[in-house]
Amino acid sequence: MTNTALDELGPVDYLVVEFPAGASNFTGEMVEELLSLVDAGTIRVIDVLILTKDENGSIEAAELSDLADLGPLQTIEAQLAELLAEDDVVNLAAAMDPGSTAGVLIWENLWAAPFASAARRAGGQLIANGRIPIQAIIASIEADDDSLSEGE
Amino acid sequence: MPLRPARIGRVGVIGHPVAKTAVVAKAVTPGPAPIAKTAVVAAAVTPGRRRRRI
């Protein structure tokens, strides 16, 4: 990858979505929404893996191409970069409960690339980033409400 | 189902065992929809609504 291409790369994120045993209900809605994000140029999917952890903690990893019927995911599968290594599978599966299945998604935030690139050109360096869970916002609001009622 | 050969023997990108995000896990635990809380959160992140206090 050239320096120019690297400079234009958006932030890369990952998520692990766990489906506890018996709790999965796949209707195709997730795939539709993912494809919408890709089609809109919001994200680029870099890698996908499906992990299963049995009751003894043994991990199995499946490639997207191992699925019997990929359907509309065929387009995404053809463009995967296979970023994750064997070590990553073990590290990601550490978050899973025994008996569960999880989808791992790695993506580039194309929507953020121009801003990130501009920040780098301005001399900025990313020193922290993260996500604020909705539950944390709720906790903060509730703490505010509590302190206000105590002051009444 | 084995991983593709290209994934074997490479240095990974995650770097450490990932811990389950307890807060998020709680948020997606099946149960009654927290309608009231949803409205409160929506209000909290509404543009122009400042709640900072010093």
> With an 8 Å Cβ cutoff, are B18 and A144 in contact?
no
Contact A38, A45 (CB under 8 A): yes
Average pLDDT of A116-121?
A: 91
Q: Is residue A30 part of a domain?
A: yes
Q: Is residue A27 part of a domain?
A: yes
Region of B20 (left: φ > 0; alpha: ψ -120 to 50; beta: rest) is beta
Contact A52, A11 (CB under 8 A): no
Average pLDDT of A84-100?
A: 95
> With an 8 Å Cβ cutoff, are B30 and A133 in contact?
no
> With an 8 Å Cβ cutoff, are A85 and B41 in contact?
no
Mean pLDDT lowest for which of A62-66, A148-152, B9-13, B24-28? B24-28
In which residue are the tokens 């003894």 written? Answer: A56
Domain count, chain A: 1
Q: Is residue A32 part of a domain?
A: yes
Whether A54 and chain B come into contact, CB under 8 Å, resolves to: no
pTM here is 0.79
Calculate how close chain A gets to B15, using CA atoms only, in Å: 7
Domain ranges of chain B: 17-49
Instruction: State residue A7's pLDDT score.
Output: 74
Task: Among B9, B14, B24, select the one facing A91 at the smallest CB separation.
Answer: B14
A133 vs B contacts (CB less than 8 Å): 21, 23-24, 27
Q: Is residue A73 part of a domain?
A: yes
Instruction: State residue A50's pLDDT score.
Output: 94
Whether A135 and chain B come into contact, CB under 8 Å, resolves to: yes
Q: Is residue A70 part of a domain?
A: yes
Instruction: State residue B23's pLDDT score.
Output: 54
Instruction: State residue B50's pLDDT score.
Output: 66
Calpha distance B24→B20 (Å, rounded): 9
Calculate how close chain A gets to B47, using CA atoms only, in Å: 15
Calculate how close chain B gets to A61, using CA atoms only, in Å: 6
Q: What is the mean pLDDT of each run of 10 residues along chain B (54 residues)?
A: 86 92 56 62 72 60
Positive or negative torsion for Cα A41, A102, A48, A15? positive
Instruction: State residue A2's pLDDT score.
Output: 57
Q: Is residue A134 part of a domain?
A: no
Calpha distance B5→A71 (Å, rounded): 25
Domain boundaries, position A19: 3-112
Mean of pLDDT over chain A: 88
Instruction: State residue B31's pLDDT score.
Output: 53
Mean pLDDT lowest for which of A57-61, A106-110, A130-134, B47-51? B47-51
Instruction: State residue A135's pLDDT score.
Output: 75
CB atoms within 10 A of CB A67: 14
> Tell me: the pLDDT tens digits for A2-50?
555 677 888 999 999 999 888 777 788 899 999 999 999 999 999 999 9
A95 vs B contacts (CB less than 8 Å): 17-21
Q: Is the pLDDT of residue A96 over 70?
A: yes
Instruction: State residue B24's pLDDT score.
Output: 53
